[in-house]
Structure 1
């Protein structure tokens, strides 16, 4: 049986603490709640870790968060040897915020990179220290230095980052919103979440269920660490925190 969890992070990525009630524990010991602020692994972004606080003050450490039979079923995986809650128990949910915030900054940087390189995306992975975005990119004129410079220009402009929802029909009428070459957003729920950068999407709009910062300045210092050739027309850009190393 699939359960539906209200995903609080979709409307407020900054909700580091929330409350949830246990509705199920699956056969593998995964905890399903009525609602959660824990992001589940999807779209190249890792799921959250953290802990659940019980009424007696004890903690259940959460080692991973994944989706179940559907994207709307969110399963929290306890660490080894953790006590299990009871069905109906109310918990206080604490996301590992420093880790989540780094992922939010990185994910936003990946969106900015897709503006600088307006080519089909063939793969992506968001990480705490390094992220990668692969483009179907025949043009080899992009360099680490010029892409980094353009990224930092966009970050310093401090453009707002927001979300909005559109219908399946609106997405079908605007196929250019989809940047991924191989993956299409799910279109069976009746609505699609867009991440919008700039007023009315002046910088970018694309379907995404991930978590992002609210303005580009929060991304901070970032650079392209490497551009790798992964095929005749495929380039992998590696994004790293910090300024470009001197050596």
Structure 2
């Protein structure tokens, strides 16, 4: 298995980087020694963009996914793209406007779990709309939730990551908000995404990319709350003002 250094974990704002081709898999997927491309995981879509060769030609990337494990990151070219050589050095360019919207949306999803502190049963991050499903039976007003979300956004709380060991997570099971999915184990450490000074607002395991402060999220609202079963509610987060 070819492991890739995930540069996005330390710097989610890194829109360009350099990488060396470490392998080409049997489907034409490109594996690099390091990358700023995020691979689909945790409800957040993988990055798209292009790889630039030394002669200036481009290899369009249609998706980024994990291989046998999260340590293996595969850049999937669009159809009819050139195949680079193993050992070739490339300049990596993600579609930054798309990534930044996903970062803002993913951070908004974390704020929603603060406003609605119920077990999470599903989530999906999108460029224009995201959804989070909660194990909850009571009804709640979307205008009230939207107002509470914007209070957190306008509070301009810092967002940062820190690492803990697996033993610390075991000692603090409340950090895991997902009802059905547990953080991957085996590496010896877990990445937490924290919001607020000293994580006063929130702290939960997450490998995704986020903005550095809540004000960057911008104006958001709950566009819809759907009942999905007797004890499940689906919240849809959208950019912009709540329509009057």
Q: 1:195-206 maps to which residues of 2 (within 5 A)?
A: 195-206=193-204
Corresponding residue of 1:27: 26
CA distance in 2 between counterparts of 1:143 and 1:224 reads 9
Q: 1:1-247 maps to which residues of 2 (within 5 A)?
A: 2-140=1-139, 142-246=140-244
Give, in angstroms, the shift of residue 27 of structure 1: 0.2
CA distance in 1 between counterparts of 2:218 and 2:83 reads 39
SS of the residue corresponding to residue 38 of structure 2 reads coil
CA distance in 2 between counterparts of 1:31 and 1:163 reads 28
Give, in angstroms, the shift of residue 200 of structure 1: 1.4
Deviations 1:189-239 (A, max 9, x none): 000000000111100000000000000000001110000000111000000
- Give the unaligned 5+ runs of structure 1: none
CA distance in 2 between counterparts of 1:3 and 1:185 reads 22
SS of the residue corresponding to residue 18 of structure 2 reads strand
- Give the unaligned 5+ runs of structure 2: none
CA distance in 2 between counterparts of 1:3 and 1:83 reads 21
What is the TM-score when the length of structure 1 is the normalising length? Answer: 0.98
CA distance in 1 between counterparts of 2:24 and 2:243 reads 47
Deviations 1:101-134 (A, max 9, x none): 0000000000000000000000000000100000
Deviations 1:54-90 (A, max 9, x none): 1001110000000000111000000001111100000
CA distance in 2 between counterparts of 1:3 and 1:138 reads 45
Equivalent pairs counted in the alignment come to 244
What is the TM-score when the length of structure 2 is the normalising length? Answer: 0.99
Give, in angstroms, the shift of residue 3 of structure 1: 1.0
SS of the residue corresponding to residue 111 of structure 2 reads helix
Report the RMSD for the aligned CA atoms in angstroms. 0.5
Give, in angstroms, the shift of residue 138 of structure 1: 1.7
